[in-house]
Structure 1
Amino acid sequence: MEAETATASRRQWIAKVLSSALRLWLKTQVEQIADLQVEVQSGDRRLLSGVIQQVSLSAQQVVYQGLHLTQLNLVAANIRVNLGQVLRGKPLRILEPIPITGSVCIQVTDLNASLQTPLLAEAVTAFLGTLLNQPPHPLEQGVQPLSIAAVADLSLRQLQVEIAGDRVILQGLLNNAGEEIPVELETGLTLRSPQELQLTHLRWLAAPGLDPGVSRMQSRHFSIDLGSEVELHQLRLESGVIHCQAKLTVIP
């Protein structure tokens, strides 16, 4: 009985130490995080061998590599860590890739904050340039193609996104060969596969070469590859908010 009590006490102590170490490790991985809650769950043998059976965490206002996440609730399983070093006061290290599942909520204000990072702004500019080079919708035969400079010469500022029901509206000021022109694009956003987002029923509301008050449909849908380490299982748009259920693999 005393041995069982001692083992339970040691497990609780290790779980507490690991919980604190995980909190510190998580804070080093992000630029900002608030209301972080971490819960460690593991059996005695696995925990004592340095494997955390499950970690549940929740947080708000997370900024990771410039991406602003309003709220997240995640579960990670079978996390192998350097337990011996942690118990001696060393920083925690993740020793193997870990699968993570959970839900993420992004409000439009945080989405717009994410778009201010150079990496995302450049990606959006290149994407818009690619779209502008596409022909009009087949039902709009006879319409003149939109006129832009080379994609590499484009720049975009005052980039903003709105979420209106299940539609996304992207707008900004495009510098096209020295001329600054408003651009506005409306699109649906769905899952084509767990690794691909699909933009559907794209319509230009403002663009270079497009008369004011005239809209133009794109001729096809466009897909965005999320990479092999991410799986989106659910994507839902509400006014001002994106909700998604996802699975990803974290490579230490």
Structure 2
Amino acid sequence: MSEQNSQTTNVNKIRIITQVLTTALKLWLRAQVSEISELEVEIKASDRQILSGRIPSVSIFASHAVYQGLLITKIQLIAENIQINIGSILKGKPLRLLQTVPVVGDLTIDEKDLNASLSSGLLSTGLSELLVKVLPTYCPKTQPINWQEIILKNNQIILLGSKVTNSQTTPLEISLGLDLVNGRQLQLTDIQIKDDQTDLFQDNHAYSFDLGSDVDIQQLTLIPGKLVCRGRINVNP
């Protein structure tokens, strides 16, 4: 075999391995969500790095992905320093991470997609549990709230729902500010509760929540109809 033919064969092998790896990565990403509309993956690595299972960088774009019941409008991510089980992948086995992978990027959730997530129950339950913790007197666990709509404004969230008490349904409107304290802490501020247009409660205190050591949020923006988040999260094996 000539040297040129040998080089062509090696290039073809690398191309096939890259295609197999890209397919395996897409399958792994799709397995992390229950639904996804669009998914693009770009692997940035040399031939030697791919063959060793070490990938310096992967760019990921996805739209309308459903993760644990939450509909995410758009995601743009870059994952770095990835180590995978390349030998097993080439034998047709699923991709597996061999170490924690830092992922940085942007996440966007439109208001309509956030409201569509209420039907899953996960978001509505999370909101109720959050308010039970912050405002146990006005949002007791024994009186669950049926959430109907979420409205996003500049640095403000408005929650519309109804509370059932002794078979009587009462409309509720809860408004609150959402701020970023630091990379792993969010803060609720300026909480107001209206009961059928009557002011029931107003609290100017701030309530902080820790998101954990695997999260580092750099920017959190609330604008009319949209929530945008930029930061880093560790994806563990």
Spell out the pairing of 1:71-150 with structure 2 (5 A cutoff). Answer: 71-133=74-136
- Structure 2 residues not aligned, in runs of 5+: none
- The offset of 1:227, in angstroms, is 1.7
1:241 aligns with 2:226: yes
- The offset of 1:202, in angstroms, is 1.9
- The TM-score, its normalising length taken from structure 2, stands at 0.89
Deviations 1:118-149 (A, max 9, x none): 34322311322344446xxxxxxxxxxx5x6x
- The offset of 1:155, in angstroms, is 0.9
- The offset of 1:82, in angstroms, is 1.4
1:199 maps to 188
1:43 aligns with 2:32: no
- Conservation of the 8 A alpha-carbon contact between 2:65 and 2:71: yes
3-state SS of paired residue (2:119): coil
- The offset of 1:81, in angstroms, is 1.3
- The offset of 1:157, in angstroms, is 1.0
The one of 161, 169, 187 equivalent to 2:158 is 169
3-state SS of paired residue (2:188): strand
- Conservation of the 8 A alpha-carbon contact between 2:110 and 2:225: yes
Cα distance between partner residues in 1 of 2:103 and 2:184:
15
Cα distance between partner residues in 1 of 2:135 and 2:173:
11
Q: Which amino acid aligns with 1:161?
A: I
- Conservation of the 8 A alpha-carbon contact between 2:69 and 2:117: yes
Deviations 1:80-116 (A, max 9, x none): 1111121122222222221111000000111122333
Cα distance between partner residues in 2 of 1:163 and 1:196:
20
Cα distance between partner residues in 2 of 1:7 and 1:157:
61
Distance 1:112 1:12, change over 3 A: same
- Structure 1 residues not aligned, in runs of 5+: 135-145
Cα distance between partner residues in 1 of 2:233 and 2:119:
24
- Conservation of the 8 A alpha-carbon contact between 1:153 and 1:177: no
1:20 maps to 23
3-state SS of paired residue (1:116): helix
- Conservation of the 8 A alpha-carbon contact between 2:118 and 2:147: no
Deviations 1:21-80 (A, max 9, x none): 111111122101112101111122221111122111101000011111000001111211
RMSD value, Cα: 2.2
Cα distance between partner residues in 2 of 1:178 and 1:131:
25
3-state SS of paired residue (1:220): coil
Distance 1:29 1:91, change over 3 A: same
Distance 1:130 1:96, change over 3 A: closer
Q: Which amino acid aligns with 2:161?
A: G
Spell out the pairing of 1:219-230 with structure 2 (5 A cutoff). Answer: 219-230=204-215
Cα distance between partner residues in 2 of 1:235 and 1:48:
38
1:138 maps to none
Spell out the pairing of 1:151-170 with structure 2 (5 A cutoff). Answer: 151-170=140-159
The count of aligned residue pairs is: 234
- The offset of 1:170, in angstroms, is 1.0
1:141 maps to none
3-state SS of paired residue (1:214): strand
- Conservation of the 8 A alpha-carbon contact between 2:128 and 2:145: yes
Cα distance between partner residues in 2 of 1:111 and 1:22:
27
3-state SS of paired residue (1:96): coil
Q: Which amino acid aligns with 2:40?
A: Q
